[in-house]
Every structure is written in structure tokens, then in C-alpha cells.
Structure 1
């Protein structure tokens, strides 16, 4: 079976966001399986997309984005 092609995305995050990613990856990991920060990001994307598709948390996400300093628009 051919390897699944993936797109790469580079984003700038704060030290606080990196710490949250690290902590979340650690909490999701188990002795049998270590979870990477990239996997946490992919999981978050899927979770947010699913919730928005169901009409959930839209205002909460917008409020969070409004409170986030815009470092990179592209």
C-alpha cells in the first residue's frame, strides 16, 4: 500500500502554546505509545472541525481567536 501523502504546515506559536502542546502530548501518551505534538495538533484540528460542523462552540472559538495576538496571517 502506498504511503499516504501529507501536507506540511509551519506556524509560529508562543512559548505558552508550545508548553500546552507538550503537556497535552505527555498526558495523552502511555507507556505503550508516545504521542507527538504534531498528533495533538491533528487531533485538535479534527475535533474543532467536527464541533463546528455540528454547530457547537462557534462563539467560544471566535472569542478565543479574537483574544489571540495576530503574529502571522499567512
Structure 2
């Protein structure tokens, strides 16, 4: 056990050292959690952008399919 001081009274600093180590580990874990949260937010934003792009394409396809001579299945394969 490391001793900080001994003058008729023994002071054991082992618990303080262990507490410091635990706090350092928690701080590192907090940093990793923050990095993970930032990455997750970036991925969510990328997915939202992709969803918006897909929505635009889907709306264009639907609009084109309703116009005369559009690209609907019936127009492409002959109306029956």
C-alpha cells in the first residue's frame, strides 16, 4: 500500500488512487460514447438525405406514369 505520509498516523491512499483510476476510465468511456453518438447522428443524417432523394425519384416516377404516354406499366406494355 502506498503511503503518502506517516507521522504517528498512517494515511492509506490506495482508495484514492483506485478512485482516480476509475474516474480516468469513466472519462475515456464518456469520450468513446460521445464519438459513437456523433457517428450515429452522421449516419442518421445520411439516411435522411437518401430518403429525401428516394422520395423525389418516387414522386417523379408516379407523376410520369400518370401523364399521357408516360412510363406506366400499361403504357410500356400496351393498354389492354
What TM-score do the two structures reach when normalised by structure 1? 0.29
**Greater RCO structure (CA 8 Å; 6+ sep):** 1
Higher strand share: 2
Higher helix share: 2
What TM-score do the two structures reach when normalised by structure 2? 0.27
